[in-house]
């Protein structure tokens, strides 16, 4: 008999390890060299590699023979070879060769799972489907990433916290006026504000009422086949041309206690202004951005793992509370659909 407690535990487990049927960025493109790369994302061990045509593949990081990590093996150009016994597996998870014997039935068979892959804007995205939705959905990214009117730099880091805390942090504009008050971009504006939620076709905007482009004044979260967050913060006047800078962010679960965050720092610039901003970013602004990100990391990593269970929330937390409810509903829906497949 399945109890209410059992269902709640399954929902919480799914939420803690990452909702399925979405695309997630998993590593920046520069991390991939000729060697297979082993990573853990959504509590799943994965090996990522480039073939001889520079196409990226992703597989379960285990050999179907004895479970050795394929990421410890060799890239043969069109397949990986396991270090343990030399078994060769292509990018679809099909065993192509078992060199130790010709009397084995697994050659030509798909024996491990593969992941749909997209390489976009300097990052590798993987689709994590469940049994009810194995085929990848369409993914749309915000205009600030896809339009040539904008220029961006990708920043990524590993935080020792659950990814849901990273999402909460971005969905909390008010912390900018306090935690980041001495930063290069969030020193101005009121320290008291009324907040409101505005619905969009893709999700919602959580914003301060009556203040815009002064501090961290608004944030948007959207689900367009991938879960992204978008915000803008003003630069100081000496930060060069281009006005406010935008951030498009993602929080990708590693496991229940670790998160890979991706933040594209973006500015709407063209021509000589683009060149000036990119020069200033690399030589002056990048370190300031990292300092702000480090403040977020220090606060989140110092929280107790059960901090959510002891919260006393108020008006400024409406945005993150709404996102939490929406994520819980999505987890319940996914588990219900999986139960239908099982029956």
Task: Report the CATH number at residue 312.
Answer: 3.90.380.10
Residue 90 within any structural domain of the chain? yes
Last residue of a domain, one of 93, 128, 163: 128
Torsion of CA 199, 200, 204, 210, to 10 degrees: -70
Residue 339 within any structural domain of the chain? no
pTM, two decimal places: 0.95
Assess contact for 152 and 247: CB atoms under 8 A: no
Domain hosting 254: range is 143-328
What is 90-124 written as a DSSP string? -TTSBEEE-TT-S--S-TTSB-S-B--EEEETTEE
Domain shared by 224 and 148, yes or no: yes
Domain shared by 275 and 166, yes or no: yes
Domain shared by 152 and 123, yes or no: no
Would you say the C-alpha torsion 58, 60, 63, 69 has a positive or negative sign? Answer: positive
Domain shared by 121 and 182, yes or no: no
Domain shared by 158 and 118, yes or no: no
pLDDT tens digit at each of 343 positions of the chain: 456 778 899 999 999 999 999 999 999 999 998 899 999 999 999 999 999 999 999 999 999 999 999 999 999 999 999 999 999 999 999 999 999 888 788 898 999 999 999 999 999 999 999 999 999 999 999 999 999 999 999 999 999 999 999 999 999 998 888 888 887 666 677 788 899 999 999 999 999 898 887 788 889 999 999 999 999 988 877 778 888 899 999 999 999 999 999 999 999 999 999 999 899 899 988 888 899 999 999 999 999 888 888 999 998 999 999 999 999 999 999 999 998 887 6
Domain shared by 175 and 123, yes or no: no
Total structural domains in the chain?
2
CATH code assigned at 113: 2.102.10.10
Assess contact for 242 and 269: CB atoms under 8 A: yes
Last residue of a domain, one of 73, 103, 128: 128
Domain shared by 321 and 201, yes or no: yes
Order of strands, sheet of 80-81, starting from the edge strand that comes earlier in the sequence: 74-75, 80-81, 88-89, 95-97
Domain shared by 123 and 176, yes or no: no
Domain shared by 82 and 173, yes or no: no
Domain shared by 82 and 214, yes or no: no
Domain shared by 107 and 224, yes or no: no
Residue 29 within any structural domain of the chain? yes
């Amino acid at each position: 008999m399945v109890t209410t407690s059992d269902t709640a535990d399954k929902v919480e487990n799914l939420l803690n390890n990452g909702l399925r049927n979405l695309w997630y960025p998993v590593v920046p493109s520069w991390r991939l060299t000729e060697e297979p790369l082993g990573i853990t994302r959504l509590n799943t061990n994965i090996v990522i590699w480039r073939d001889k045509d520079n196409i990226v593949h992703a597989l379960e990081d285990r050999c179907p023979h004895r479970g050795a990590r394929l990421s410890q093996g060799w890239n043969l150009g069109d397949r990986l070879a396991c270090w343990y016994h030399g078994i060769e597996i292509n990018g679809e998870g099909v065993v192509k060769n078992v060199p130790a014997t010709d009397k084995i039935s697994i050659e030509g068979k798909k024996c491990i799972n593969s992941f749909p892959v997209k390489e976009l804007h300097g990052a590798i995205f993987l689709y994590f489907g469940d049994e009810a939705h194995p085929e990848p959905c369409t993914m749309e990214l915000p205009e600030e990433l896809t339009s040539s009117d904008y220029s961006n730099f990708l920043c990524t880091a590993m935080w020792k916290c659950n990814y849901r805390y990273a999402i909460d942090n971005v969905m909390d504009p008010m912390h900018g006026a306090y935690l980041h008050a001495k930063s290069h971009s969030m020193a101005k504006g009121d320290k008291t504000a009324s907040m409101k939620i505005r619905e969009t076709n893709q999700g919602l905007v959580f914003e301060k009422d009556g203040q815009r482009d002064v501090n961290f004044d608004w944030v948007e979260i959207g689900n367009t086949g991938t879960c992204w967050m978008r915000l803008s913060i003003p630069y100081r006047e000496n930060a060069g041309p281009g006005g406010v800078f935008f951030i498009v962010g993602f929080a990708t679960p590693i496991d229940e206690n670790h998160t890979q965050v991706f933040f594209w720092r973006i500015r709407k610039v063209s021509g000589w202004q683009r060149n000036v901003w990119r020069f200033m970013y690399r030589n002056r602004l990048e370190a300031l951005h990292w300092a702000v990100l480090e403040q977020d990391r220090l606060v989140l990593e110092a929280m107790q793992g059960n901090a959510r269970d002891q919260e006393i929330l108020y008006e400024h937390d409406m945005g993150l509370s709404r996102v939490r409810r929406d994520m819980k509903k999505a987890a319940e829906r996914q588990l219900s659909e999986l139960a239908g497949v099982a029956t």
